[in-house]
């Protein structure tokens, strides 16, 4: 959810076709974003200002080599990898907990993301989740899938976007006993008890990882006393996503190969735990210096933990919320499932006094999460490069105070 992002895809949008159901300016914006995602628009640095035409070839080659070297360096560097094996919620204070905690804070402070090796979800359970998603959930008729509705923006079924081969369904309160039965009861006449039970166990285990990570951050920042209050203000959403296979040459349009993915975005919630279900890579995270680092799971027990805007605001910028995207262009369908921790609408996101001082003044004005979410769904919010800064960054806060 709550990754207020528009799915992208494609040569279609990049070549000018406007997805139905979107306003023209928003569609143009999307095209721009898509073109940039697909490398069709030159980035901010104006590489096109060549010094002299006769040096063009050498200059372009040098530029390509420089860029290739930067990409290779980012790929080599990879994302931090943290092993949670043997570390559970009951281990708070143990040396192994503290060692993992240090790495978690370091990773979320610099990248806002890391690969977690977490063996509490067995590869068998993970395999069943893939099987159920690919063979039972996504093949359901559209009439069934659209019953997955929500009163929150981006909280239910997403799909049927012209030219974008992407679909997604979400279980609200998945780690609670009522979440999966409510979802399954709407989609299958018999409530699919097997799906229900597995989705519940899976999200409960991921919820435990989410809670550990959040606790470690609060401990590192010396504000553990807020953990319970923060946990009470959060709910969980489990989102299944399917990125259609791009197919072979037959689907090429005007010589351009179709691509599928999710354009670069920051999540707005607290944390997201991404599980790439099949072996189709595509998730990439901005290194902070303009390079995209591929998030390739290194084991069948790997997950990517990604911090969202809310955690960034609450920690007064100690936690980074990274730009990330999904870049899929191959012949295989990609399946992923993500557990998001989402603040309740009425939760007020405000950095604790302990995290604010003269040297580190508050970066964002306090905001009610539901209001922020609604802003993100407006055209202004969609356009904003950084939604959090646009909504409640210090400049925005100063303007609001003056008005
Ligand atoms: O499917 C994925 O791997 C990640 C999708 C994503 O970035 C999101 O839903 O926010």
**pLDDT tens digits, 29-42:** 343 333 333 222 22
Q: What is the per-residue pLDDT for 28? A: 32
Dihedral angle of Cα 200, 335, 134, 250, to the nearest 10 degrees: 170
Least confidently predicted of 116-125, 267-276, 342-351, 385-394: 385-394
Residue 192: CB within 6 Å of ligand 1? Answer: no
Least confidently predicted of 33-47, 162-176, 211-225, 240-254: 33-47
Query: What residue ranges do the domains of the chain occupy?
Result: 2-72, 79-402
Residue 274: CB within 6 Å of ligand 1? Answer: yes
pTM, to two decimals: 0.82
pLDDT exceeds 60 at position 72: yes
Average pLDDT over residues 110-135: 97
**pLDDT tens digits, 162-196:** 777 899 999 999 999 999 999 999 999 999 999 99
Count of all residues that appear for the chain in the document = 403
pLDDT exceeds 70 at position 267: yes
Q: What is the per-residue pLDDT for 57? A: 44
- List CB contacts of 215: < 8 A, sequence separation 6 or more: 89, 92, 224, 227
Average pLDDT over residues 67-78: 66
pLDDT band at 301 (very low <50, low <70, confident <90, very high): very high
Dist CA 381 CA 6 (whole Å): 12
Dist CA 155 CA 47 (whole Å): 40
Q: What is the per-residue pLDDT for 36? A: 32
1, 2, 3: which to mutate for ligand 1, most atoms within 8 A of CB?
3
336, 339, 340, 387: which to mutate for ligand 1, most atoms within 8 A of CB?
336
Q: What is the per-residue pLDDT for 262? A: 80
Q: What is the per-residue pLDDT for 15? A: 32
pLDDT exceeds 80 at position 67: no
311: closest CA among 290, 340, 286? 340
pLDDT exceeds 60 at position 117: yes
Contacts 24+ apart (CB under 8 A), 30-33: 30/6, 30/263, 33/6, 33/8, 33/263, 33/264
pLDDT band at 50 (very low <50, low <70, confident <90, very high): very low
**pLDDT tens digits, 305-324:** 999 999 999 999 999 999 99
Q: What is the per-residue pLDDT for 248? A: 46
Residue 326: CB within 6 Å of ligand 1? Answer: yes
Q: What is the per-residue pLDDT for 330? A: 75
Residue 324: CB within 6 Å of ligand 1? Answer: yes
Regarding predicted confidence, which is higher, 50 or 319? 319
pLDDT exceeds 80 at position 124: yes
Ligand 1 centroid–CA 5 distance in Å is 9
Q: What is the per-residue pLDDT for 396? A: 62
CATH 3.30.1330.50 fits 79-402, yes or no: no
Q: What is the crossing angle of helices 193-220 and 95-110, to 10°?
A: 90
What is the rounded average pLDDT for all residues in the chain? 82
pLDDT exceeds 90 at position 25: no
Average pLDDT over residues 108-129: 97
- List CB contacts of 204: < 8 A, sequence separation 6 or more: 175
Ligand 1 centroid–CA 360 distance in Å is 32
Ligand 1 atom nearest residue 334's Cα:
1
Q: What is the DSSP string of 286-340?
A: E-SSS-EEE---SSTTEEEEEE-HHHHHHTTTSS----EEEEE-SSS-EEEEEEE
**pLDDT tens digits, 365-401:** 999 999 999 999 899 999 998 999 999 998 665 555 5
Q: What is the per-residue pLDDT for 401? A: 56
Contact yes or no for 349/343 (Cβ under 8 A): yes
Average pLDDT over residues 120-146: 97
pLDDT exceeds 90 at position 69: no
Residue 283: CB within 6 Å of ligand 1? Answer: yes
Q: Whose CA is nearest to atom 5 of ligand 1?
A: 326
pLDDT band at 8 (very low <50, low <70, confident <90, very high): very low
272, 285, 296, 309: which to mutate for ligand 1, most atoms within 8 A of CB?
272
pLDDT band at 116 (very low <50, low <70, confident <90, very high): very high
- The alpha carbon of residue 255 and the mean position of all alpha carbons in its chain are separated, in whole angstroms, by 31
Ligand 1 centroid–CA 325 distance in Å is 7
């Amino acid at each position: 959810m709550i990754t207020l992002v528009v799915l992208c895809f494609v040569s279609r949008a990049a070549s000018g076709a406007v997805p139905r159901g979107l306003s023209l300016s928003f569609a143009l914006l999307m095209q721009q974003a898509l073109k940039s995602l697909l490398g069709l628009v030159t980035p901010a640095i104006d590489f096109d200002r060549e010094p002299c035409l006769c040096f063009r070839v050498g200059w372009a080659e040098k530029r390509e080599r420089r860029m290739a070297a930067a990409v290779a360096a980012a790929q080599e560097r990879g994302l931090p990898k943290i092993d949670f094996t043997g570390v559970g919620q009951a281990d708070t204070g143990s040396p192994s907990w503290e060692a993992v905690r240090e790495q978690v804070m370091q990773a979320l402070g610099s990248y806002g993301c890391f690969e977690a090796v977490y063996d509490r979800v067995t590869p068998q359970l993970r395999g069943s989740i893939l099987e159920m998603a690919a063979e039972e959930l996504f093949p359901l008729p559209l009439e069934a899938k659209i019953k997955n509705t929500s009163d929150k923006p981006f909280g239910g079924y997403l799909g049927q976007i012209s030219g974008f081969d992407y679909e997604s369904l979400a279980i609200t309160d998945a780690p609670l006993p009522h979440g999966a039965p409510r979802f399954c009861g709407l989609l299958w006449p018999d409530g699919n008890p097997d799906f229900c039970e597995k989705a519940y166990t899976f999200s409960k285990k991921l919820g435990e990882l989410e809670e550990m990570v959040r606790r470690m951050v609060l401990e590192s920042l010396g504000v553990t006393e807020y953990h319970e209050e923060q946990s009470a203000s959060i709910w969980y959403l489990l989102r299944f996503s399917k990125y259609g296979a791009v197919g072979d040459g037959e689907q090429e349009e005007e010589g351009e190969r179709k691509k599928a993915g999710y354009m670069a975005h920051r999540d707005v919630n607290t944390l997201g735990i991404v599980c790439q279900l099949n072996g189709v890579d595509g998730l990439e995270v901005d290194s902070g210096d303009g390079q995209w680092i591929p998030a390739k799971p290194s084991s069948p027990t790997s997950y990517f933990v990604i911090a969202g805007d809310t955690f960034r605001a609450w920690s007064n910028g100690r936690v980074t919320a990274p730009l990330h995207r999904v870049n899929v262009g191959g012949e295989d369908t990609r399946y992923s499932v993500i557990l998001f921790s989402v603040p309740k609408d009425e939760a007020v996101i405000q950095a604790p006094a302990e995290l604010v001082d003269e040297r580190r003044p508050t970066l964002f004005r306090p905001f009610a999460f539901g209001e922020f979410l609604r802003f993100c769904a407006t055209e202004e919010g969609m356009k904003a490069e950084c939604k959090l800064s646009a909504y409640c960054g210090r400049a925005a806060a100063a303007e609001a105070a003056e008005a």
